[in-house]
Chain A
């Protein structure tokens, strides 16, 4: 009894449920994806899946196209989101909260339902679905993820830095380009990550907003897995994972350097 009691109250044991959860739902599936990607249908080791990807121009093109669409979406989100975040950071905190709420409010509704509404809206306005509708839908869905981190860094910025720049002779435009924008970079980077990464792997939005006319990389993975082409689907997933992983590592390393500079040297 006493032993069990002690076991329960040892702080480190409280992490156990989470560890079990992570192993079952994150680590094992990831290992399975890697395992499947290097196997053929009979379970023998092979690199054929990857060769197949490179030799199928249709799939590689889709991959490049998906990345381009994701980059365009991210760029539009940044162009729309930065000014919004900047304006909100300048507002009195009470009214800023209301505006942020208005931006976040649509996210309380499921993304698929929102997208169905977008489709209806396009129909109502007699606008064709397709690439334009796809980019519109993705920007609409992911804009809050861009605004919020940028707003956060801008809002936390020490106002005396802006005053110091003015004091040293900077015009309002120079204050922005030399102080405010460089200092908001951490927010911009996390905003880009939050938008770029999920948009690369989107498939449901593409299906609905283009009536399945445009296929994204996510769509191809989904089709393969639906058609029980487990191994090829796993290989494509792995390729995407590696790309996303590399992007994250690069951005993370940049930030990490900043932290090092700030604290250690």
Chain B
């Protein structure tokens, strides 16, 4: 067998609890000695992924290899990994020494060696002379240090960390981040770190895995992920950003906010709808409007410590976020300049909603678990399967869920400068994407209505 230099290999991992799919066909390889962070909002499946690695849950499908050996169905106590839990999970019936020695004692390590290894681990986490303290008498930060010592003392091949700093206050978190990074360097073992804090991920990792809805969105170095997000979700989740709808006119030329801008991206074709990301710190704001690429009026200006954060309204109705060291007065006319290399173009995942439906009669189609009226269709028989297309802008959302043809809840909101792009999950579990100017909240229950003339019916390919 060829020994690969990957310490962890996940192939086509899926996991569902009952009907709920938590991980959907995830594949991931981790190099030996890497600090890899799995980043995503709560409920994206990142903790489940870690629990599959630790062995607390078993994958519904797929294969897990650790250190080259298949571990898919191996129970946790036989895996060469150790976990640092979010809530520390120290044994309250043992003192600090016995907590750290727990794993070594189980493996029958000699008494003297246990003592010296525990001492070394305690020194490593900066807790020398705490051996005989009761774990309940320690502060949160100290408990987490003991938890880390308890894991690393076993010299695992992989250390799994499940949001280990989430319960600590900001100052302590910053200190611990630096210490973890230092620890990773000196131990040389692989760290798999789970967090929802993008700043923490950018600070600590060699590689970041961005997850959403049980799927991996992007894998890359922190700079890659920040500078070259592969889709609007990643761009929105990592750092602040202006995400706008645009048209790629041709290579190196993009039209957004009604103007044409030079950019450096190629290969999108001509007149193709795309998403554009511009980071707020990449926009230069000046008081002259004549030499600017586009203009606007300052609507708000907030001091953020290092920089000022300003929102500027453009004449075409877009709202742009800008970060600059100099403040501009509210109401002032300003001009903006963006370098071609700071305009980042991303392929759109979709340009309209596409569903599979069944014709009930010439004027009704059944889809998304409801019966929608549509413009009369010829040459399609009742009961036949069809492809249905609906533009983002023609979906109507109602406050009262029962007013809609079908009901749904809002799962993701993306601000696009002049409109909101919503992901609405229907009761059947389908996603319908909606462009709207109305302000909705995450998890709002809504009704979904579509006017008959806006439903385009095509024969199934």
A residues near B (Cβ < 8 Å) are 158, 160-161, 163-171, 174, 178-179, 182-183, 261-263, 265
The answer to whether A168 and B154 have CB atoms under 8 Å apart is yes
Task: Give A170 to B92 CA distance when docked, in angstroms.
Answer: 17
Encoded as 1 (CB less than 8 Å from any A CB) or 0, chain B from 245 to 289 comes to: 000000000000000000000000000000000000000000000
Cross-chain contact of B103 among A160, A161, A168 (Cβ < 8 A): A168
Give A185's nearest chain B residue, CB to CB.
Answer: B93
Q: Which of A169, A262, A263 neighbours the largest number of chain B CB atoms within 10 Å of its CB?
A: A169
Cross-chain contact of A163 among B76, B81, B102, B136 (Cβ < 8 A): B76
The answer to whether B77 and A171 have CB atoms under 8 Å apart is yes
State which residues 102-117 of B face A: CB under 8 Å: 102-103, 106-107
Give A158's nearest chain B residue, CB to CB.
Answer: B89
Task: Give A179 to B54 CA distance when docked, in angstroms.
Answer: 19
Q: Which residues of A contact B75 (CB under 8 A)?
A: 166
Give A263's nearest chain B residue, CB to CB.
Answer: B136
Q: Which residues of A contact B91 (CB under 8 A)?
A: 161, 164-165, 179, 183
Task: Give A166 to B78 CA distance when docked, in angstroms.
Answer: 9
Closest 5 CB pairs of A and B: A168-B103, A160-B89, A164-B89, A166-B76, A182-B93
The answer to whether B89 and A163 have CB atoms under 8 Å apart is yes
- B137: CB under 8 A from chain A? yes
The answer to whether B102 and A168 have CB atoms under 8 Å apart is yes
Q: Which residues of B contact A167 (CB under 8 A)?
A: 54-56, 76-77, 81-83, 151
Task: Give A5 to B110 CA distance when docked, in angstroms.
Answer: 74
Q: Which residues of B contact A179 (CB under 8 A)?
A: 91, 93
The answer to whether B106 and A168 have CB atoms under 8 Å apart is yes
The answer to whether B89 and A170 have CB atoms under 8 Å apart is no
Task: Give A263 to B138 CA distance when docked, in angstroms.
Answer: 10
- B134: CB under 8 A from chain A? yes
B residues near A (Cβ < 8 Å) are 54-56, 75-78, 81-83, 85, 87, 89-93, 102-103, 106-107, 134, 136-137, 150-151, 154
Q: Which residues of B contact A164 (CB under 8 A)?
A: 83, 85, 89-91
Q: List 13 A-B contacts (CB under 8 A).
A: A161-B91, A164-B83, A165-B102, A166-B55, A166-B76, A167-B55, A167-B151, A168-B102, A169-B103, A169-B106, A174-B106, A178-B102, A265-B134
Q: How far is the CB of A123 from chain B (nearest CB, A)?
A: 48
Give A264's nearest chain B residue, CB to CB.
Answer: B137
Give B136's nearest chain A residue, CB to CB.
Answer: A262
Cross-chain contact of B136 among A166, A182, A261 (Cβ < 8 A): A261
Q: Which residues of A contact B137 (CB under 8 A)?
A: 261-262, 265
Task: Give A163 to B83 CA distance when docked, in angstroms.
Answer: 9
The answer to whether B89 and A168 have CB atoms under 8 Å apart is no
The answer to whether A168 and B82 have CB atoms under 8 Å apart is yes
Q: How far is the CB of B133 from chain A (nearest CB, A)?
A: 8
Q: Which residues of B contact A166 (CB under 8 A)?
A: 55-56, 75-77
Given A164-B91, A183-B91, 20 more A-B residue pairs with CB atoms under 8 Å apart are: A158-B89, A160-B87, A160-B89, A163-B54, A166-B56, A166-B75, A166-B77, A167-B54, A167-B56, A167-B82, A167-B151, A168-B82, A168-B103, A168-B150, A168-B154, A169-B77, A261-B136, A262-B136, A262-B137, A265-B134
Task: Give A261 to B81 CA distance when docked, in angstroms.
Answer: 32
Q: How far is the CB of B349 from chain A (nearest CB, A)?
A: 37
Q: Which residues of B contact A160 (CB under 8 A)?
A: 85, 87, 89
The answer to whether A261 and B106 have CB atoms under 8 Å apart is no
Q: Which residues of A contact B81 (CB under 8 A)?
A: 167
Q: Which residues of B contact A178 (CB under 8 A)?
A: 102
Task: Give A174 to B77 CA distance when docked, in angstroms.
Answer: 10
The answer to whether B83 and A158 have CB atoms under 8 Å apart is no
Give A166's nearest chain B residue, CB to CB.
Answer: B76
Task: Give A174 to B106 CA distance when docked, in angstroms.
Answer: 8
Task: Give A165 to B82 CA distance when docked, in angstroms.
Answer: 10
Q: Which residues of A contact B106 (CB under 8 A)?
A: 168-170, 174
Task: Give A233 to B137 CA distance when docked, in angstroms.
Answer: 49
The answer to whether A261 and B102 have CB atoms under 8 Å apart is no
Q: How far is the CB of A187 from chain B (nearest CB, A)?
A: 13
The answer to whether A161 and B89 have CB atoms under 8 Å apart is yes
Task: Give A139 to B54 CA distance when docked, in angstroms.
Answer: 43
Task: Give A158 to B93 CA distance when docked, in angstroms.
Answer: 13
Q: How far is the CB of A185 from chain B (nearest CB, A)?
A: 8
The answer to whether A169 and B89 have CB atoms under 8 Å apart is no
Q: How far is the CB of B262 from chain A (nearest CB, A)?
A: 54
Q: How far is the CB of B12 from chain A (nearest CB, A)?
A: 25
Task: Give A178 to B92 CA distance when docked, in angstroms.
Answer: 12
Task: Give A165 to B56 CA distance when docked, in angstroms.
Answer: 11
Q: How far is the CB of B213 from chain A (nearest CB, A)?
A: 25
Q: Which residues of B contact A174 (CB under 8 A)?
A: 106
Q: Which of B54, B89, B103 neighbours the largest number of chain A CB atoms within 10 Å of its CB?
A: B89
Task: Give A163 to B76 CA distance when docked, in angstroms.
Answer: 8
The answer to whether A163 and B103 have CB atoms under 8 Å apart is no
The answer to whether B134 and A170 have CB atoms under 8 Å apart is no
Q: How far is the CB of B335 from chain A (nearest CB, A)?
A: 56
Q: How far is the CB of B188 from chain A (nearest CB, A)?
A: 21
Q: Which residues of A contact B154 (CB under 8 A)?
A: 168-169
Q: Which of B78, B82, B90, B102 neighbours the largest number of chain A CB atoms within 10 Å of its CB?
A: B102
Task: Give A179 to B93 CA distance when docked, in angstroms.
Answer: 8
Task: Give A234 to B7 CA distance when docked, in angstroms.
Answer: 76
Give B81's nearest chain A residue, CB to CB.
Answer: A167
Task: Give A164 to B77 CA distance when docked, in angstroms.
Answer: 10
Task: Give A262 to B102 CA distance when docked, in angstroms.
Answer: 20
Task: Give A170 to B94 CA distance when docked, in angstroms.
Answer: 15
Q: Which residues of A contact B151 (CB under 8 A)?
A: 167-168
Q: Which residues of B contact A165 (CB under 8 A)?
A: 91, 102
Task: Give A99 to B69 CA distance when docked, in angstroms.
Answer: 43
The answer to whether A183 and B89 have CB atoms under 8 Å apart is no
Task: Give A183 to B102 CA distance when docked, in angstroms.
Answer: 15
Task: Give A265 to B154 CA distance when docked, in angstroms.
Answer: 29
Q: How far is the CB of A232 from chain B (nearest CB, A)?
A: 47
Task: Give A161 to B150 CA distance when docked, in angstroms.
Answer: 13
Give A183's nearest chain B residue, CB to CB.
Answer: B93
Task: Give A171 to B91 CA distance when docked, in angstroms.
Answer: 16
Q: Which residues of B contact A183 (CB under 8 A)?
A: 91-93
Task: Give A178 to B101 CA distance when docked, in angstroms.
Answer: 13
Q: Which of A160, A168, A169, A263 neighbours the largest number of chain B CB atoms within 10 Å of its CB?
A: A168
The answer to whether B56 and A163 have CB atoms under 8 Å apart is yes
The answer to whether B54 and A261 have CB atoms under 8 Å apart is no
Task: Give A167 to B136 CA distance when docked, in angstroms.
Answer: 21
